[in-house]
Amino acid sequence: MKKTVSVVCAVLVCNGQVLAAQRSRSMSMPLKWEFPGGKIEPGESPSECLHREIYEELGVRISISQQLPLSRYEYPNLAVTLYPFVGTIVSGDIQLHEHAAVVWLAPDKLADLDWAEADIPILDACRALA
């Protein structure tokens, strides 16, 4: 039976642009692009997890404005349920603790990146944010 994980991610928006984060070489799916976030811990709500993960990964505090539709994807050895949220950075400056790079792009330019497969369905929802 395939392992299943529940993961949150942040579609962070600023001045009409969306933040994309590139996975580091040491992470699974190295150098793929993703919306930052991480695994939901037992007893943690998706929004609590997102606040924790974004602070751990990027060193910033965020405000969540809405939740987007869930995305489910099955990798060969892992099934992922992704809980995406739209938000903004409210304090701090981005520091890369886990990722190789981040970029701010217009929503219609996001598809130019090489995305982790589970994040691809979220790109359509990002176009509506422009």
Q: Is the pLDDT of residue 128 over 90?
A: no
The pLDDT score that the predictor gives to residue 127 is 82
**Six-digit token string for 34:** 């993703």
- How far apart (Å, rounded) are the C-alpha atoms in residues 30 and 79? 18
Q: Average pLDDT in the 4-19 region?
A: 96
Residue count of the chain: 130
The pLDDT score that the predictor gives to residue 85 is 97
Q: Average pLDDT in the 42-52 region?
A: 97
- How far apart (Å, rounded) are the C-alpha atoms in residues 43 and 49? 10
Residues 6+ apart with CB under 8 A from 30: 23, 24
**Residue 68: strand, helix, or coil:** coil
Give the pLDDT band of residue 1 (cuts 50, 70, 90). confident
Report residue 59: phi and psi, to 5°: 70, 25
pTM reported for the whole predicted model: 0.94
Give the pLDDT band of residue 130 (cuts 50, 70, 90). low
Determine the number of helices (DSSP H) and then strands (DSSP E) in the chain.
2, 8
Residue 84, amino acid: P
Residue pLDDT, tens place only, 17-32: 999 999 999 988 999 9
Give the pLDDT band of residue 63 (cuts 50, 70, 90). very high
Q: Cβ distance 23 to 102 under 8 Å?
A: no
Q: Is the pLDDT of residue 89 over 90?
A: yes
